[in-house]
Every structure is written in C-alpha cells, then in structure tokens.
Structure 1
C-alpha cells in the first residue's frame, strides 16, 4: 500500500484501470468457461440418450454376454460409444476399449428400481467416462444397457477454449493498462498545467499567471477558481502596497513638521539663545498638535490593518441613540462655534460598541471639518436611519465614488487636518453591523451622510427608561 501511494497519480490510475479490467475480464472468462462446459456436458448427455439400443441389438448383445463375447459394437449414428450390459445379478459385459465399473445406480436400473441413471465414472484404463444407463429387458433377469462416451471430447474443446480465453484476457489487460495510462495522461494534463502554475507562483510570486479554462467540467471550474484566487491575491497585494505607500506619505508630513519644531527647540538649547515665550508656546502647541495627529493616524491604521473579512469584536445589542449622544458631546468640543440640531428616536442595533461609536465620531467630525463657522449641523435618527447634514461646500459629483476609499481626500480638503481614513472606517464598521452608508449632496447645499442600520431586540423597559431620549 505504501508503494502504491508513492507512485505518481497517473501510474496509480493506470494500475487501477488495468486491475479493474483484469478482474472484469477474469470474471467474464470464468463465466464463459463454466457456461460453455455446462452446455457441452448437456449436449453430451443428450447425445448419449439418443444412442439407445434397439431390441434386436440388445438381444444380440445379451446372447453374446451369455457366451462371454466382448467384441466392440458399432452403433448406428455418427458416434462410436462403449456399451456394456449390466445384469440384475451383478454380471457386467463390456463391449468397448476398457471396462467401466458398474455403479449402484446401474444395478438399480437393471433391477427396475429407477427408470434410468446418468453419471460420470472412471474406466479401467483411467479415462473419465460419461455413462447413461437405461433398462432394455425386464423380468426375472433384468438387464440394463449402459452407453458411455469419454469426457476427453469435452476436455479437448475446453482446453482450447481455456487457452483462447487466457490469450484474450492477457491482450485485454495489457490493452486496458495502455489505455488507462493514455487516459490518465490525457485527463490529468490540465491538472499538470495547474500544478505547474502553482509551482511557478510559489517560486516566483508572479500572480499574473492565468490558466486557460474551457468547458464546464471539474478541471475547468478548478482552473477558474485558481485564476480568481490569484487575481484576488494580486489585488490584495496591490492594496497592501498602496496602503503602505499612502501611510508613508501621510506620516511624512506630520513627522517632517515635528522634526523641524524639535530641531528648533534643540538648536535653541544648544546655542543658549532662548526663544521668545510666545514663539516657544506656539512651537510647543504645534508639536502637541502634530503628536495628536500622529496618534490619530496610527489608530486609524491599526483599525484598517485588520483584513476586510476579519471578525469584529463581540457583538452586543447597544442603543444607537445613546452612542450618538456621546459622539455629539465630543463633536461639540471640536466645533464649539457650531450649532447642532438633533432629533434622536430610540433605536437598538447589534454591533461592536467601541467601533460603532468611533464611526459615529468620524461622521460628525467630517461634518464639523467642512462646516463654515457659526453654522448648523442637523443630526436626525429615525427608525434606524441616521442622517448627518452639514452646510459646507459639499462634494463634487465626480468625487462621490471615492469618498470611502482609503487615504482619499478631495483637493479642497488637502489643507485641512485628517488622514483620509475616517470614512473608510465608517463604511467598514457599518458593513460589519449589516448596514449601509451613503454620502450625497444635500438639497440647498452641503453634504448629507446617511447610515442605515438594522434593528435588534429592544432591551427591558427599565433599561430603556434609564437611557432616556434626546429630542429637539
């Protein structure tokens, strides 16, 4: 078994095919051999029954037996058979080349105990004989006549048939093995191509390899699946490379500014020339702002470092309106000159609380960032649909398809703080919660962000009462 498993797949298929054909040929050959032998024996038995002696020949043989004459007898018909008479007293007279021992069945026929008898026995010369015994005279001295023919007539034919079957079986097995090897080689050729492609990808990491897929069979489906897998891997690698490049680009700006500020402080300490207090305070404020921006960017990168198919944290039934109130408190601190008009109806969702709150903060921060000073931001939550509408410059129609891409920022927002990851995190979090998010131009100017989240079972009334409802 170990040797068989160590062989190539095509060799195993060829061996299995040859073995299956050999077993089938052997079964057919044996069945043919036994059926043919049974048919020949039936024909021999039928011919023996047709060689019954007439009364004249029987009387002649009876007289000859009484005189002790054992001369061969030529029977009518086309066969020469050995004939013997079996008397009821046990005496046997044989007319043929060799005597055939009388069997109990033969004596039973002579004594009129059975109508006839058919059996196989061995003559005195060692040859196998087929014997048919029937009664020819009844009375005080019953006589049974036995007609016998050698089984060599059948054996010769069966020997020839045996060699013919062995020859045909051998040719069939060899042909089946050759055909099995050809079929295995032809049928596994697509698998060989697939194996070569996989080995090439493993050795070179070349994900542009594609395998021709024709038809609808299993091999074609496997080839298409392999092509889809390599294409997905190529896209994933491109996205990873793009993410690294974009992250490096976004990190370079705050790091450069931070390094410049720190170098100024260090030069001031080295030269002993103190900076004016106002300049030093501005410099420290700039360092603090750059550190804050770096921390936010690193947090966003950690959030996006998880694969798109990664499982989120533990899902809980959380009050969306409560998380939204908390996010609004943080947004008011970042835009104290703005006015927030809210209308929040209770709504419960199944989501990861921390991730969902961060997504809400990102949506509100985006509205704060693009709102003019002393303007109004409208926040509405009704039956699982959250709408955050600002009155800023809006988003150009050709830019809308890209607003949820990682690190994408519109040209008008290049000078504003941010990494271009906020809305990407929003889209990902909402999708993991089973919802959808869209960004569109609002009627009358500005932008409207709409989040739709499916509802979850409502907690007990006591919990709902404790949470309260914020309505304008």
Structure 2
C-alpha cells in the first residue's frame, strides 16, 4: 500500500513536516511547563498544610470539642482548611461546618503509631478533591483516649500516654486544579496557534526556496517535451539548490554537445562514405554493363576497374573499423580492465607492422623501457596510426624515426610539415588537410590516437620538426621498471 503522504506535493509535505515538528516541540514544552507548575503548586500547598499542622491550638481545641460533643461549642477550622481527627479504629471527628474526608490505610497507620505522617489526595463527602496531611501531634494523646471513651486519671501526665489517634489537616485542590486548568487552556491555544503558524510559514518558505526547483522541473519537462537542450536555469547563490541548477545546466550542455557531436559524426561519416560508395557503384555498373551488352572491356581496363573496386572496398572496411574504434566507450586510467603495458614493446610491434608499407623509406628507432597503465591493442593502434601518417607524408628516401625516452614517445617524418593554422584541427574527426585530400585515409587516424592516449592518462601533440617535417609527441605517465603483476583472485 502506497504511503498517502507521498501523494502530496513537496511544498505541502514541507509545510506539514514543519507543522508536525513545531507541534511536537510545543507539546513537549507545554507538557513540561504544566508538570513543573503542578509540582510547584502542589509543593506550596503541602508547605501550607505543614504550617497549619504545626499550630497545636487548632488541634487541641478540636480534640476538646470532639471529646465533649454535648458542650454546645464546636471548633471551626480557619478557612480554607479542614481539620479532622482519625482514631486508631477508624472513627472520624471533623470541625464544625466541614465535611468528612475519606481516610485510607496511611491515615490509620499514623493513628496507630506505625507511621509518622502521611500526605495524600482524598475526596470529601461533598465530592471535593482534597490534599490531606495526617500526623500524630505529641501531648494530645490523653484527649484522644477521652474521645475514644477511655478513662484517664486527670493527674496523669499526657506524655506518659501512647498515641491512639491522628489529626488530618486538608485543603481543597481547587487552588492547584484551577490554575492548572487555566494554564492548560492557554498552552493548548498557544500550541494550536503555533502549529498553524508553523504550517503556514513552512508552506510559504518552501514555496520561496523551491522556486528554483520548480524552474528546474519546468525546464526538465520542456526538454522532455521539445528535446530543446538550449534551455538553461538561472543560478543564484551557491547553496545546494544553486549547485543543483548548475549541475543541470552542465548536464544539458554536455548532452547538447554530445548530440551535436553525434550528428556531426553521422554527417561526416556519410560524407566520407559517399565518395568510395559512388566510385564503387560506378565501377560496378561499368563492369555489369560490359557483361550484359557483350562489349568486353580491354583486359587492362578491366584489371584497373577490379583493382579500383578492391581498393574502395578496403577503404570502406578501414573507415568502418575506424568508426567502430571511435564508438567504443571511453576508458579512464585505473579502471579494472586496464593493465600494465610495456610501451617500448608496443612501439616495436607497431614499427614492424608499418615497415612493409614504407619500402622506399628508412626507419630508425631507439626505444627505452617504459611501462604504462593502458589497453595494449588501443595503444598499439595509436602508434601504428602515427607511423602511418609519417610514412604517408615522407618523400621517397626519407627517414621516419621512432624514439622513446623517459616516457616521451616521438614519431618524426621529413615531409612538407603542417601549416601552423591547421595544427589546432589535426585531432578532429574527419578533418583532413586540403593538401592531403587526394591521399588515402578517412581523417580518423589522429582522432583515434588522441582517444587512446587520453584513456591512458597521457597527452599527444603535433609540431613542426625543425626546418622540414612534423613530429608527433606522446607523453604517458609510467615507470622505467615493470611493476609486480597483481595477485590472482583467491590466491
């Protein structure tokens, strides 16, 4: 079953949460205040009862009147107190004009001498709640015995007699209950007003603070509806909501860049594929027409067409392979499927792969040991592409040099070089120098190099190599000695 609280809006939930929090806090304070006030009032009432009990003239007069009920004179306790005598057998004598107060076991225990005093609440005959203090005052036990019907010699000193009764002094609990009731009503009203005010303030404050979130929601809904990634959220301040808005703007910008790159890649790939496909279709149609019409092409021309078809198919295959390489997800240094690679060995293998393609060139190499964290196949593909470029642009009889020293891998040719205004674009996808448009290639080689080097945590740059030629420099962090291989799982 779903929580109905989740169905409410965030603004309303914040308001209700604030109201609940204030209600709990105010209720706790109100209950604590009421309990402390009750304790103070009850303590004051108990203190008053003890002061009254300490006046023996009130008690003595009452005991005399209780011992002579036919005297016609009855003692009336000073208002607002009630004084009554409790005998050991449970009889009660109360002052004139007062109602008897119910006794309990603690009052009898005081009358029988087993308890010094007792303080408790009780109810009078007229239903009033009373606070009662029961004690056995010394020096008045003789009158207690007379009241109980015992004969005591008049000359007997009172202190030689044992206690046979107790005296209770009581006062109505109205002096405590009425202020407490008034305080409870006040606290209840105060709590209610506080809760309502907290709820209203919570909703108002949440509305103000959630305004950026509303803008964010509206922007997200607009993007989902229109696919318009140009929407941006105004960022104000540096709090959590501002950081969320900035992150949203960064995300939409990254998505827009990714979408633009994807569209550009598709457009560029379509453009690059169109040329070999057009040429391939023309050559194929020419061969088909020759067969269907019976007009056989000269053998040399037919061989040229077939070689052209083979070259164009190879170019398409190379372009597709490059696109697949670029479409692979990026790998960051330190991820689990990267491992230690001997860069000098990778560079040596790449040189052996490229050497047959430059049969008219000289190759020189000087490779020091260097170990990096990378993907071996991707790194080898990058070095092969750099060497291929050097072979492509080097004149016959030129020299292509490969050097690896202190983590710096350089590939140098003796070609015409790259103009300074073209250097910022050499690693762009499908970019080709105007002077190299007639040469084979897709314009993806250096883009693949940049991706592989960046995944290994390194950098790659192209720069003029002195008076003539171009030098590609790759720097990848690593070490001169091979680190220990990680232990196999479970070892």
TM-score tier by shorter-chain length is 0.7 to 0.9
CA separation of 1:140/1:310 partners in 2, compared to 1, >3 Å: closer, same or farther?
closer
CA separation of 1:381/1:145 partners in 2, compared to 1, >3 Å: closer, same or farther?
closer
Native 8 Å contact 1:317 1:456 kept in 2: no
Counterpart Cα distance in 2 of 1:91 and 1:253: 125
Superposition deviation, residue 348 in structure 1: 4.3
Provide the TM-score with structure 2 as the length reference.
0.84
Superposition deviation, residue 89 in structure 1: 7.9
> Is 1:458 the equivalent of 2:477?
no
Number of the residue aligned with 1:121:
122
- Equivalent positions of 1:87-126 (< 5 A) are 92-95=92-95, 96-101=97-102, 105-106=106-107, 116-126=117-127
Number of the residue aligned with 2:4:
3
Number of the residue aligned with 1:236:
258
> Is 1:176 the equivalent of 2:198?
yes
Number of the residue aligned with 2:162:
none
Superposition deviation, residue 50 in structure 1: 3.0
Superposition deviation, residue 331 in structure 1: 2.6
Cα-to-partner distance string for 1:326-362 (whole Å, 9 max, x where unaligned): 4333433222211212333444444333322222221
Native 8 Å contact 1:351 1:433 kept in 2: yes
CA separation of 1:48/1:428 partners in 2, compared to 1, >3 Å: closer, same or farther?
same
CA separation of 1:444/1:114 partners in 2, compared to 1, >3 Å: closer, same or farther?
same
Superposition deviation, residue 136 in structure 1: 6.2
- Equivalent positions of 1:359-374 (< 5 A) are 359-374=382-397
Number of the residue aligned with 1:84:
84
- Equivalent positions of 1:176-215 (< 5 A) are 176-215=198-237
Q: 2:76 aligns with which of 73, 78, 81?
A: 73
Counterpart Cα distance in 1 of 2:401 and 2:348: 13
> Is 1:384 the equivalent of 2:407?
yes
Superposition deviation, residue 24 in structure 1: 2.0
Unaligned runs of at least 5 residues, structure 1 = 461-472
CA separation of 1:433/1:70 partners in 2, compared to 1, >3 Å: closer, same or farther?
farther
Counterpart Cα distance in 1 of 2:403 and 2:11: 67
Provide the TM-score with structure 1 as the length reference.
0.87
Residue 255 of structure 1 aligns to a residue whose secondary structure is: helix
> Is 1:158 the equivalent of 2:180?
yes
- Equivalent positions of 1:50-449 (< 5 A) are 50-52=51-53, 58-68=59-69, 69=72, 71=74, 73=76, 75=78, 79-86=79-86, 92-95=92-95, 96-101=97-102, 105-106=106-107, 116-134=117-135, 135=137, 137-138=139-140, 140-142=142-144, 144-309=166-331, 314-449=337-472
Number of the residue aligned with 1:465:
none
Residue 434 of structure 1 aligns to a residue whose secondary structure is: coil
Superposition deviation, residue 316 in structure 1: 4.7
Cα-to-partner distance string for 1:437-469 (whole Å, 9 max, x where unaligned): 221101131111122332475399xxxxxxxxx
Counterpart Cα distance in 2 of 1:307 and 1:55: 101
Cα-to-partner distance string for 1:189-231 (whole Å, 9 max, x where unaligned): 2222211111111111111111111112111111111100000
Native 8 Å contact 1:316 1:351 kept in 2: yes
Number of the residue aligned with 1:467:
none
Superposition deviation, residue 235 in structure 1: 0.5
Residue 305 of structure 2 aligns to a residue whose secondary structure is: helix
Native 8 Å contact 2:331 2:455 kept in 1: no
Native 8 Å contact 2:406 2:480 kept in 1: no
Native 8 Å contact 1:87 1:141 kept in 2: no
Number of the residue aligned with 1:470:
none
CA separation of 1:125/1:422 partners in 2, compared to 1, >3 Å: closer, same or farther?
same
Counterpart Cα distance in 2 of 1:347 and 1:328: 16
Native 8 Å contact 1:136 1:144 kept in 2: no
Residue 137 of structure 1 aligns to a residue whose secondary structure is: coil
Cα-to-partner distance string for 1:107-151 (whole Å, 9 max, x where unaligned): 665677655443322222232222234416345445754332112
Superposition deviation, residue 430 in structure 1: 1.9
Cα-to-partner distance string for 1:30-65 (whole Å, 9 max, x where unaligned): 222222222111122222233347555555434322
Equivalent pairs, count: 457
Native 8 Å contact 1:350 1:456 kept in 2: no
Native 8 Å contact 1:55 1:136 kept in 2: no
CA separation of 1:91/1:417 partners in 2, compared to 1, >3 Å: closer, same or farther?
closer
Cα-to-partner distance string for 1:265-312 (whole Å, 9 max, x where unaligned): 223223322222222222222222222211111111111122435899
Counterpart Cα distance in 1 of 2:140 and 2:227: 102
Native 8 Å contact 2:413 2:471 kept in 1: yes
Native 8 Å contact 1:137 1:144 kept in 2: no
Across the aligned residues of Structure 1 and Structure 2, the Cα RMSD in angstroms comes to 2.9
Number of the residue aligned with 1:17:
18
Unaligned runs of at least 5 residues, structure 2 = 145-164, 485-491
Counterpart Cα distance in 2 of 1:88 and 1:416: 128
